Structure 1
């Protein structure tokens, strides 16, 4: 842990490269993010043995692992509102929390108690009225309450204000509905939860791309719920480099091996996906009619 802290402080103290934004809408682009160099190579081109790596001193280890960040991110805000999907926010937070010493802020639609869709209660010390600037804003999704948020002009105006100066504006799952309603996805490539994804994004002038996550300029969007973890790792990869992104991945032991194939309509029995579509349609119907 001491080594990790020293490495990260060094990263942030040293001068950073100019901020660069890229569009990631293909597997090839995704692979280009961050450094893909072989770190286990000596200056003479030979490889370090396990014994040499284990005996390596602190300074030498840091020199091998160090990658100059492409950007400086000082503040990351997570927008919470009643009914948000817990993992939409907590998945990315688990990844981005390791971007030390970046400040992570939970921001409520209002200050105080926020209850997620899973009935988990969060106490939030900041409301949208308290925060005027963030380097990164993360907008999680939900269901009914997310749709209602797309009609909340005060919230949308705050998102636009933050976006005016943010380096990254990010959504998870149906959080893209909120980002789209704020007018941020017009003419952009994006993704969202699979439920009527193309139709929902088209309402906001966005082009749906069926991928786990999509990067178009400063805007990053992910597919449903768990995809927010993939997107967050890609963000770390781009900002702090592949070394540190791999460190976080290993620390989380993020090596998904589900017990059966599923998780996407194309991999799920049509009986199941049709039932879910009907459930979502019926759930939204009363609000659409209003």
Structure 2
């Protein structure tokens, strides 16, 4: 079995390569169409996913891969063995279409329902986050995707005035109600899985999410946050799990969750 550090390196290199393809299309302007569930998709989503899947097939051929556009096309592998990879080639497609830079590439390894390794790459921001193998890091890249710096990150303890992150494109009344009930005065709107990473690096305290998400939306950011000392939990306080089928939800759909920083802030 491959070492965790080698897998993280593969995920990092694959995400960066996919980011180059995405940025080329982003700068040129992408054609948009709707999938069967009415969510948008572009050629950037599809080209990035093909690149990532090819890399994973070369280096980890025996590990099933659940990828967003593959699932949309009806190609869903058997993950009953408990070890599989989740891929969202372009998280924040609406941000991408709208000209916002906070879209990401997400790759995560799941073992026994837990995201143990993950990479989140924000190509337009020249920033990458990774988590697992005993570390959580923020990586800064130059315009040619060479590494400028690697910095360890850690989730913070919640202060007297906690701050919350909410989705730019998928906020809902239930999330707003939670923030009001928790008396959180500071909130920031951010797209994509970057919200997990911002909690992981200690620039925000929590990310409540009550509108629908899929496992490929959250797994990589979840892995980064856990490696940084944080947690993603369901409303009953249990850790969010992966490869699940829950009553009333689609395969790989998440229930509502709360992503938080270090343990002392959890009730």
Bin for the TM-score computed over the shorter chain: under 0.3
- TM-score relative to the length of structure 2: 0.27
Bigger proportion of residues as helix: 1
Between structures 1 and 2, the one with greater strand share: 2
TM-score (norm 1): 0.25
